[in-house]
Amino acid sequence: MNRHPHRSIGTPLDRVDGPLKVTGGARYAAEYGAEGLLHGAVVNSRIARGRIIAIDSDAACAVPGVRLVMSHLNRPPLAADDDSYEDEDSADGSSFRPLFNDRVLYNGQPVALVVADDLQTARYAAALVTVEYATEPHATDLRRQLDDALPAPAELPGPRGDADGALASAPVRIEAQYELPVEHHNPMEPHASTVIYQADGSLLVHDKTQGSQNSQSYLCHVLKLEPTQVRVQAAFIGGAFGSGLRPQYQLPLAAMAALMLKRSVRVALTRQQQFTFGYRPRTVQRLSLGADAEGRLLGLVHQVTGQTSRFEQFTAHVAEWSGMLYHCDNVRLTYRLVPLDVYTPLDMRAPGAAEGVYALECAMDELAWAAGLNPLHLRLINFTALNQNLGKPYSSKALRDCYSEGARQFGWPTQMPAPGTLREGEQRIGLGMATGVWEAMQMPASASAALAPDGSVVVASATTDIGTGTYTAMTQIAAETLGLPPEKVRFVLGDSSLPQAPLQGGSFTVSSVGSAVREACLALRQTLLEAARQLPSGPFQHIADDQVQCSEGHLQAASSSQRIAFTELFQRYGSLQASATAHPSALRQRYATATHSAVFVEVAVDEALGTVRVRRVVSAIAAGRVVNPKTARSQILGGVVWGVSMALHEASLMDHGLGRFMNHNLAEYHIPVQADIGDIRVLFVDEPDAVVNPLGSKGVGEIGVVGVAAAVANAVYHATGNRIRELPITLDKLL
């Protein structure tokens, strides 16, 4: 069939779920009720390592309204006692299972759950539970344990060329160490699970998750249930950023309590408890760069050391970017892990790239100044159209356009003023820039499409919407494919019973689920045409597929006035539907696929106080075809704010004597407020890509973060002449 004339993709459409969100109609995991719903409060360990000797719950059980105090001593025998299961985002090792045994693996570990008639009673009774521990020596400080580092199970490319030899003979060399702290996700909606116990003994679960089917399979395994006994829903999610990729401990706790009591149970974590599971890990990175007199890279060594738990080996893609972003024939990348008495780290938005590209782009800035080159010029002369890690060309890479258009709109100088020379009164002004990169992935995904009586279409997939605009983007893809206005499409998501979808993460939802939605709608369009050909009048019996298009709720012959309404087809045949599964094409195997960006930043540093203000940012993005420029711009704006936050604000501070995070709240875990953010300009460059997927879309969730922290750090150096290599850049470090 011909492409229909109705255009939805590329239109800055308002969020279709916006009215529900702003009126309170959107319900989140902790907002679903049930008759006789009970509430759980978690008791967390107060030591970092050791064993539980005794748990005294008598005082808690004596409180009126308390229904259960659950611990490793009385948890359901259904819980799995083996290590064979891995969730979709698990790390190498033995996954943590709450209340598994008497071992304490980290400070903050859940050791008991108190279930009561209401939340206040549950929390009060939880405070009465006393736990006696046998403590063991613990280690939680990455810096002090660097000698314990072990090779990480990371999929790094092997060394190419002779990096050490090239560095030794390079006319221009720099070597520097960069450190990033632990960061916690802190989405607006804390993690919660409402487990509704059904009359037949099955569970209907409303969970804060980035994958309803992942949570379903996890519960089925650890509680030895059949998939028909567990249905997980996640219609709305108040931010996740990776914290919902793995099932967090409130989910199995609530499910175990519901099965024990045969009652509906909700467990919602407090803000403080948001600091008792995964996080962006602390890393120490050493970069060595060597270049010739013109600035061409001759050798590069990137050594990463990160922290992990003692029971899992968490790795992120931290070092790979240094082998692919610029042309360099002599590269060596290493990644080591230090096992500590902490919980396992977890992917956080742009995992690995946010850390690794920060170090690389700061090192590139240092190399530019050492070589006497404009930092932008250094990047341009090292541009590569080939991913040397893979030995493959990029399917598209409009990074040069990002550099040129971003520099033009920012006003990047051709001749850089010397560091510390730009001033406005008491303010020192600095300019910094960096490159960003993120992989453009596609995962297998499925979707269904069904015709409704009024001629509208209901499209469904088990994907989620963590605030990124999935409802809206999928609506637009379906609307364009079927020639309908967006208001005639309803997209249903966030239910484990719907067609299979991968976890929402990695910026691949539009590429993966969007491709499946397109395929399902194409299949429905063919189903409608076949139905029309069966009509007695048969207006389309002798018209080829490619001579029929969908337009405004009709099948329309391209060469005549013959048409038939979707509503007429429904009246005749009832609900017509189709489903499809989309896979990455074989063509992708011949190419590397990635999004890119160029970030330009201006800062003002108060000479007397050392305070830093990011006055303006220009972020130029090459992300293929943008489905919705409005929501995509919002994604980049949020990413830039997070990058500023990484550079200047965020750090989870641990008392290593206790092995416990001290600033586990939003008063002391610093993130930017509105007054901290200056002008942000987002621009998308044109980047056609027929390889990456049928939509030509690469996704924008992650790329907005990458490179921003480095651009801010580079601007601070330009303002002050003081190179701060440990984030966040706070006034004490500057002074």
Characterise 516 by phi-psi region: left (phi > 0), alpha (psi -120 to 50), beta (else): alpha
- 587: its two tokens: 């063509």
Residue 78: its pLDDT value, please?
Answer: 59
What sections of 179-285 are H helices per DSSP?
212-222, 250-261
Query: Rounded to whole angstroms, what are the CA distances from 474 to 16, 470, 562, 688?
Result: 10, 6, 30, 20
Contact 513, 461 (CB under 8 A): yes
Identify whether 189 is a catalytic site residue.
no
> Average pLDDT over the chain, rounded to whole?
96
Residue 2: its pLDDT value, please?
Answer: 41
**pLDDT band of 94, cuts 50, 70, 90:** confident
Angle at 272 between CA 269 and CA 274, to 5 degrees: 55
Residue 541: its pLDDT value, please?
Answer: 84
Amino acid (one-letter) located at 637: L
Helix 353-371 / helix 629-648 crossing angle, nearest 10 deg:
70
- 639: its two tokens: 């990413």
pLDDT digits (tens, 9 = 90+) for 685-729: 999 999 999 999 999 999 999 999 999 999 999 999 999 999 999
Q: How far apart are the first and last CA of the chain?
A: 67
Residues 184, 187, 191, 193, CA torsion sign: negative
**Radius of gyration of the chain measured on its C-alpha atoms:** 27
Under DSSP, the state recorded for 520 is: H
| Over residues 58-81, mean pLDDT | 89
pLDDT digits (tens, 9 = 90+) for 240-273: 999 999 999 999 999 999 999 999 999 999 999 9
- 549: its two tokens: 């298009």
Say how many CA atoms lie within 13 Å of 671 toward its Cβ.
15
**pLDDT band of 84, cuts 50, 70, 90:** low
530-560 burial code (b ≥16 CB/10 A, e <16): ebbeeeeeebbeebeeeebbbbbbbbbbeee
Contact 23, 250 (CB under 8 A): no
| Over residues 532-552, mean pLDDT | 86
Q: Which helix (H) or strand (E) holds 717?
A: helix 708-720
Q: Percentage of the chain with pLDDT > 70?
A: 98
Catalytic residue among 294, 530, 702, 726: 702
pLDDT digits (tens, 9 = 90+) for 19-65: 999 999 999 999 999 999 999 999 999 999 999 999 999 999 999 99
Contact 237, 467 (CB under 8 A): yes
Please determine, for residue 542, whether its predicted confidence score (pLDDT) is greater than 90.
no
Residue listed under structure tokens 């519901």: 258
Query: Rounded to whole angstroms, what are the CA distances from 733 to 151, 648, 651, 724, 730?
Result: 32, 11, 14, 7, 6
| Over residues 601-614, mean pLDDT | 96
398-423 burial code (b ≥16 CB/10 A, e <16): bbbbbbbbbbeebebeeebeebbebe
How far, in Å, CA of 252 to CA of 230, rounded?
A: 12
Q: How many Cβ atoms are within 10 Å of 81's Cβ, its own excluded?
A: 9
Contact 461, 493 (CB under 8 A): yes
**pLDDT band of 85, cuts 50, 70, 90:** low
How far, in Å, CA of 439 to CA of 457, rounded?
A: 33
- 590: its two tokens: 């011949």
Q: How many Cβ atoms are within 10 Å of 732's Cβ, its own excluded?
A: 7
Query: Residue 566 phi/psi, 5° resolution?
Result: -55, -40
What is the value of pTM for the model shown?
0.96
Residue 79: its pLDDT value, please?
Answer: 61
3-state secondary structure of 599: strand
Nearest Cα to Cα of residue 614 among 675, 548, 655, 571: 675
How far, in Å, CA of 587 to CA of 109, rounded?
A: 46
Contact 290, 173 (CB under 8 A): yes
| Over residues 524-529, mean pLDDT | 96
Query: Rounded to whole angstroms, what are the CA distances from 551 to 138, 481, 558, 569?
Result: 67, 10, 10, 15
Contact 603, 719 (CB under 8 A): yes
| Over residues 146-167, mean pLDDT | 96
Residue 644: its pLDDT value, please?
Answer: 98
Q: How many Cβ atoms are within 10 Å of 391's Cβ, its own excluded?
A: 10
Lowest mean pLDDT among 59-68, 301-310, 562-571, 659-668: 562-571
pLDDT digits (tens, 9 = 90+) for 386-416: 999 999 999 999 999 999 999 999 999 999 9
How far, in Å, CA of 503 to CA of 510, rounded?
A: 12
Dihedral through CA 424, CA 425, CA 426, CA 429, nearest 10?
10
Nearest Cα to Cα of residue 238 among 203, 210, 198, 263: 210
**pLDDT band of 3, cuts 50, 70, 90:** very low
Q: What is the largest CA-CA distance in the chain?
A: 86
Domains and CATH numbers, the chain: 18-26+443-583 (3.30.365.10), 32-137+188-240+244-275 (3.90.1170.50), 349-441+589-734 (3.30.365.10)
Residue 31: its pLDDT value, please?
Answer: 97
What sections of 598-704 are H helices per DSSP?
629-648
Helix, strand, coil percentages, rounded to 5, for the chain:
30, 25, 45
Characterise 24 by phi-psi region: left (phi > 0), alpha (psi -120 to 50), beta (else): left
- 398: its two tokens: 């409009």
Cite the beta strand spans of 499-611 per DSSP E.
548-551, 554-557, 563-565, 577-582, 594-606
